[in-house]
A and B are shown apart, each in its own frame.
Chain A
Amino acid sequence: MPGPARPRPALRPLRPGVWESAGDERPGMHVPVRVFASEKLLHEMDDQVFTQAANVATLPGIVGASCCMPDAHWGYGFPIGGVAAIDPRHGVISPGGIGFDINCGMRLVRTRLTWPEVEPRLAELVDALAARVPAGVGSRGFVKLADDDLEAVLGEGARWAVGRGFGRPADLALTESGGCFPGADPAAVSERAWKRGKDQLGTLGSGNHYLEVQVLRPEGVFDAERARAFGLDLDEQVVVMFHCGSRGFGHQVASDYLEDFLRKMPAKFGLEVIDRELACAPVSSREGRDYLAAMCCAANMAFANRQVILHRIREVFGDVFERDEASLGLDMVYDVAHNTAKLEQHEVDGRRRELLVHRKGATRAFPPGHPELPPAYRETGQPVIIGGSMETGSYLLAGVETGAASFFSTAHGSGRTMSRTQARKRVRGRDLKRRMEHHGILVRAASMRGLAEEAGFAYKSVDEVAAATELAGLSRRVARLVPVANVKG
């Protein structure tokens, strides 16, 4: 039982937007807590964020610091917006440091359409998107998989989808890790996960998962050069952004291994953790390796899911605008993963080391020149997509050199400030839908309750979060995107 929040530790400023604790807030901490935030965001953070980040700092093998991104908020085990780099030789892997929705992530697609061209057909467009991209409770995917197909999905991710005609070969290079985590082993996945995920390829899900049509207004451009490099070069350009993950498949993988680790930790591994949601296994143990291999399968399921949904979006645009989809553009800007653990090379205290970087509700943000970036983005830095609340806006950013302090990680969203129950007490879903439509945002929601829970006032300011990532040297702002239609589960 994690217990109530402990007093906030004293945090000393390291540089603008970066704060660090002494590292002695609780017994057993191997590293300090490092928070990346403006003073305002730091002040607004839940006290539990600091308690949870200090708990994470006790995990065996953690290196450098237990990091909190500017959108960090109270989660289970790790804070959401928590990053921990762990030495795989003597450290652990923790499902709670990744989250149940493995590789829930964001994909941004640009069109060659402008808002004046889309506005007259927006209602038709959003109705078609809502009808053809399944979302919400009980939804079944539009891709039917035989067992052999599912095995290929788990091993190949978005590559499988493109190979089956769902998308363009060029999409893969514009997806984190080429749309496929190496090391996936379907044998490490339970039959229950297979059964749970088999009919869900091509579904958005519910909660904070959504699909938005957005517009780049002229005043939304922060870095014109990078915006051009990312293909955003039209006045009032229309883009599509969506957020979804590995669906029930990933949730089951996480549940299976969490339960297994909880049973085995004390007796088999001799591990004790402060919060059982930090249940973990040595990376070098059979159980740890199996979880990593299963997690990679779930990550690949998520890449394939976003890939087939992109294909469906292209079809819908082609139908609604009665044009060849290629002439509409609909090229990918990028696809970023949240909720993963990845083996990456990082420099720590002047030494190059391989580390297993857990990012829970955080985005990888590689700097210019990083060898893993596709040639198109080698000079700009990795595109980063931060989804704001559905009422406000979202950001496109780019990775920067100074991101080394967070193991090249940045924020993933606005970050909630209010519980779902409180949000529902403040507004009814139907009233919110009317209000959003009055402000020019069309809404198609499978659940009015889910809509109310995602109201803009339940989140931090996305502008403040995006600015804080720049202040703290995690990423730089490229463009702000304004929603005009939202489809959610």
Chain B
Amino acid sequence: MTHGGGRGRCEVLDDVTSDVSLRARGESLEAAFTAAADGLLSLTVENPEAVAARETRAVRLEEEALDLLLLRFLNELVYLRDAEGLLLRVASLAIRRDGSGGTALEARLEGETFDASRHEAAGEVKATTAHGLAVAPCPEGWEARFTVDV
């Protein structure tokens, strides 16, 4: 599996009063999803670069639409943070789309459990919401927009 087009980049949009709205862009769909995961991690710890690849997890998801696939993927990362205490980033990720609109994602995630001595806490994302959720082509490649409840 690859995440073609690199990691992409994710930025916080200053357009929601209470929660946090983000936009992830990449040259490929995979890069945009990878950047979205990076954006989520950066809301959890101030120094995501300090998260070492000590453990891996595999994720496989299927959904009827790309935006719901993004929602499920990001919520999987939130789940693994709470249920296993893991801070994770994408090591590799592939997305498959069939002709009838169905989508599937396979990802390998790397990371480690939160360690207050090395990771500077930022906050806990509660969930990714469906508010303004969108995955669409953009001039750069692909763009994913999402809003998280913090």
Contacts and interface: CB of A to CB of B under 8 A. Distances in A.
Interface size class of B (residues with CB under 8 A): 35 or more
A205 B85 CA distance: 14
A299 to B, nearest CB: 16
B133 A418 contact: no
A74 B124 contact: no
Contacts of A136: 121, 124
Most chain A CB neighbours (cut-off 10 Å) among B113, B126, B128: B126
A374 interface: no
Contact of A74 (B16, B116, B120): B16
B150 to A, nearest CB: 5
Nearest to A192: B79
Contacts of B126: 100-101, 207, 248, 251
Interface string B120-150: 1111101111111110000000000001011
Contacts of A489: 123-124
Contacts of A248: 82-83, 126
A77 B127 contact: no
Contacts of B17: 46, 73-75, 416-419
B37 interface: no
A196 interface: yes
A80 interface: yes
B72 interface: yes
Interface residues of A, number: 51
A450 B123 contact: yes
Contact of B123 (A74, A80, A206): A206
A140 B18 CA distance: 25
A484 B83 CA distance: 35
Contact of A75 (B19, B116, B128, B133): B19
B45 interface: yes
**Most A Cβ at <10 Å: residue of B19, B119, B123:** B123
A277 interface: yes
A279 interface: yes
A137 B15 CA distance: 25
Contacts of B45: 137
Given A276-B130, A279-B130, A420-B20, A138 B85 contact: yes
A277 B131 contact: yes
B123 A137 contact: yes
Contacts of A195: 83
A262 B116 contact: no
B28 interface: no
B44 A192 contact: no
A99 interface: yes
B49 interface: no
A75 B18 contact: yes
A259 B71 contact: yes
B14 interface: yes
Interface string B24-63: 0000000000000000000011100000000000000000
A422 interface: yes
Contacts of B44: 137
Contacts of A263: 64, 68
Interface in A82-136: 96, 99-101, 136
Contacts of B119: 137-138
A99 B131 contact: no
B57 to A, nearest CB: 14
A467 to B, nearest CB: 21
Given A196-B79, A251-B78, A420-B150, A138 B131 contact: no
Nearest to A275: B131
A424 to B, nearest CB: 10
B82 A196 contact: yes
B114 A449 contact: no
9 contacts: A73-B17, A76-B16, A100-B149, A251-B127, A258-B129, A277-B129, A421-B14, A446-B121, A489-B123
